[in-house]
């Protein structure tokens, strides 16, 4: 599958254009990408709140946690619903089967 990515005209994206389907547009001072700039500001604010230095070694882990937290905050109304849907869609697991896997 391929996805079309729309970005601003930042030069850092140019090398990626040979490998990805990227369309660049002028951001008009951030007006064209309002939601993206809001998330970027939230990320920067969240990183500043971390009491220790953000090392290059751990930056991906910090970003993963940020993404988890922002997704959790935006979709918390559906988390219970999705959990119930997944439980209903799966075959039941009976206590005897669980006991067999747990006992060593």
As a whole number of angstroms, the distance between CA 47 and CA 39 comes to 12
Task: Using pLDDT thresholds of 50, 70 and 90, give the confidence band for residue 104.
Answer: low
Task: Determine the average pLDDT of the residues in 35-60.
Answer: 80
Quote the distance between the C-alpha of residue 67 and its chain's center. 4
19-33 pLDDT per residue, tens: 888 888 887 777 777
**Sign of the CA dihedral running 34, 38, 43, 47:** positive
Q: How many CA atoms lie within 13 A of 84 on its CB side?
A: 5
How much is the pTM? 0.47
Those residues with Cβ within 8 angstroms of residue 43's Cβ, 6 or more apart along the chain or in another chain: 63, 66
């Amino acid at each position: 599958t391929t996805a079309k990515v729309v970005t601003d005209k930042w030069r850092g994206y140019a090398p990626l254009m040979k490998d990805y389907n990227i369309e660049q547009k002028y951001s008009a001072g951030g007006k064209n990408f309002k939601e993206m700039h809001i998330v970027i500001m939230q990320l920067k604010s969240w990183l500043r709140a971390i009491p220790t230095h953000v090392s290059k070694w751990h930056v991906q882990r910090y970003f993963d946690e940020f993404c988890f937290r922002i997704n959790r905050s935006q979709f918390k109304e559906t988390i219970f619903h999705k959990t119930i849907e997944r439980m209903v869609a799966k075959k039941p697991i009976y206590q005897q089967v669980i006991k067999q896997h747990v006992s060593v």
